[in-house]
Amino acid sequence: MSMNDPISDMLTRIRNATRNGNPEVSIPYSKLKNELANVLRREGYVNAVRVDGQGHERRLVLELRYGPDGEHVIHNIDRVSKPGRRVYSEAGAIPRVRGGMGICILSTSKGVLSDRECRKQRVGGEVLCKVG
């Protein structure tokens, strides 16, 4: 199976796992996906991120977070910038998600950061996805 957009695949796997109430989700490893997962961890959307296996067998395992009564922490997670249409944003124009309740994740010159981290460091970049 050829995959044109591995980030979109990752977000779909997370979306499906949260809808099914799975405790964790496994995704083929890449550096970018690892950085994206760590932003989700820092912002409190997942409990833990770990890498299983070696070489080509490496997988990224995200321990999903739910509320005390099993309610979803991730309500929606959408790709913004796609391979066919890249979306960039300056530091001052980063979109707000759910009135500041959600986050945007951007790929910047300083690594993959949340919108909050981007505003603090005054850096813009490619808007990878929105999480709410």
**DSSP track, 35-100:** HHHHHHHHTTSEEEEEEESSGGG-EEEEEE-B-TTS-BS-S-EEE-SBTTB--EE-GGGPPPSGGG
| Domain carrying residue 13 | 6-131
pLDDT of residue 3: 77
How do residues 92-110 score in pLDDT, each as one tens digit?
A: 999 999 998 999 999 999 9
Question: How many domains, in total, are found in the chain?
Answer: 1
Structural domain includes residue 68: yes
CATH code (residue 60): 3.30.1490.10
Structural domain includes residue 1: no
Structural domain includes residue 45: yes
How do residues 51-101 score in pLDDT, each as one tens digit?
A: 999 999 999 999 999 999 999 999 999 999 999 999 999 999 999 999 989
pLDDT of residue 86: 97
| Residue 100, C-beta contacts closer than 8 angstroms, at least 6 positions apart | none
Residue 2 has pLDDT above 60, yes or no: no
